[in-house]
A = this chain, B = another copy of it.
Amino acid sequence: MAIEMIDLAAGDAAIRLSPYCWRTKFALVHKGLPFDAKAWRFTDKAMLAPTGSARVPVIRDMDRDPSRWIADSWQIALYLDQTYPESPLMVGEPGRAMARLVASWCDTVLHPAIARFATLDIYDSIADIDRAYFRQSREQRFGVTLETFCADRRGARMAVHKLLLPFEQMLAEHPFAGGSAPSYADYALAGSLMWPHTIAKEPLLDDATAVGQWFQRMLDLHDGYGRKAPTVRDEKA
């Protein structure tokens, strides 16, 4: 394997939920780089210790420098474009600036809104060993119980749809944020949306919208890499 990656898993190790890890995996399949995404759980400090990072994703490039772990999905994207310039994720500084804007917007605006929709489902699906840590850290962050934080799922879904309106307008006119082909801006947003896609018991997007149709295209890319991802809804079916 060219790339070794550490990837957040649910209780079912086949279900991978982290939006940041999904960005990295989409970037790797975009580049055509073979990789091994090892399942990691929130509380497995031992597995992350050698990487020097407290968070996932982390990767190391076994073909280049197996001693160097690279953390942070944005730094990984920059590393991949610098090291493997074919099939760029971002074209030039304008491409990097716009991808950074979209990724930052996802991190700071979209994720808190998705959290209100999906956090209780995340709690239900993660490994038993992670549950106490997850509840305690999230209830501290949100200042309320998970049940209170997620009490209005319908309102949370509407809030996400409202936030996505600028993407709705853009994607009504262009197949991808990258124009006619996907760029890292697409993978950043799609990564964020893989989070509820894999873990939420109800769909977040509406397939009739431009964003919903774009997400279906994102799932189909690269031989349906995203579409093949197991989700909690498969299990229930």
Q: Which residues of A are in contact with B by a Cβ distance under 8 Å? A: 91-98, 100-102, 104-105, 108-109, 163, 165-167, 169-170, 173-174, 176-180, 183, 185
A154 CA to B211 CA in the complex, in Å?
Answer: 35
* Dominant secondary structure at the A interface: helix
Number of copies: 2
- A108-B178 CB under 8 A given contacts A94-B91, A94-B95: no
Most buried by B among A91, A101, A179: A101
Q: Give min CB distance, A26 to chain B, whole Å.
A: 17
Q: Give min CB distance, A41 to chain B, whole Å.
A: 29
Most buried by B among A95, A97, A104, A105: A97
In the complex, which residues of chain B have a beta carbon less than 8 angstroms from the beta carbon of A102?
Answer: 101, 166
Query: Quick one: closest B residue to A98, CB to CB?
Result: B98
Query: Quick one: closest B residue to A180, CB to CB?
Result: B93
Query: Quick one: closest B residue to A174, CB to CB?
Result: B97
Q: Please list the 10 inter-chain residue pairs (A to B) with the smallest Cβ-Cβ separation, ordered nearest first.
A: A93-B179, A104-B166, A105-B166, A94-B179, A97-B174, A104-B169, A98-B98, A101-B170, A100-B170, A108-B165
Query: Quick one: closest B residue to A163, CB to CB?
Result: B109
Q: Give min CB distance, A84 to chain B, whole Å.
A: 20
A158 CA to B174 CA in the complex, in Å?
Answer: 33
- The reply to whether A178 and B97 form a contact with Cβ atoms under 8 Å apart is yes
In the complex, which residues of chain B have a beta carbon less than 8 angstroms from the beta carbon of A105?
Answer: 166
A215 CA to B196 CA in the complex, in Å?
Answer: 36
Most buried by B among A94, A96, A170, A176: A94
- The reply to whether B104 and A185 form a contact with Cβ atoms under 8 Å apart is no
A128 CA to B50 CA in the complex, in Å?
Answer: 70
26 contacts between A and B (CB under 8 A): A91-B94, A92-B179, A93-B174, A93-B179, A94-B94, A94-B95, A94-B183, A96-B179, A97-B170, A97-B174, A97-B177, A97-B178, A98-B98, A98-B185, A100-B169, A100-B170, A101-B102, A101-B167, A101-B170, A101-B177, A104-B165, A104-B169, A104-B170, A108-B169, A109-B163, A109-B166
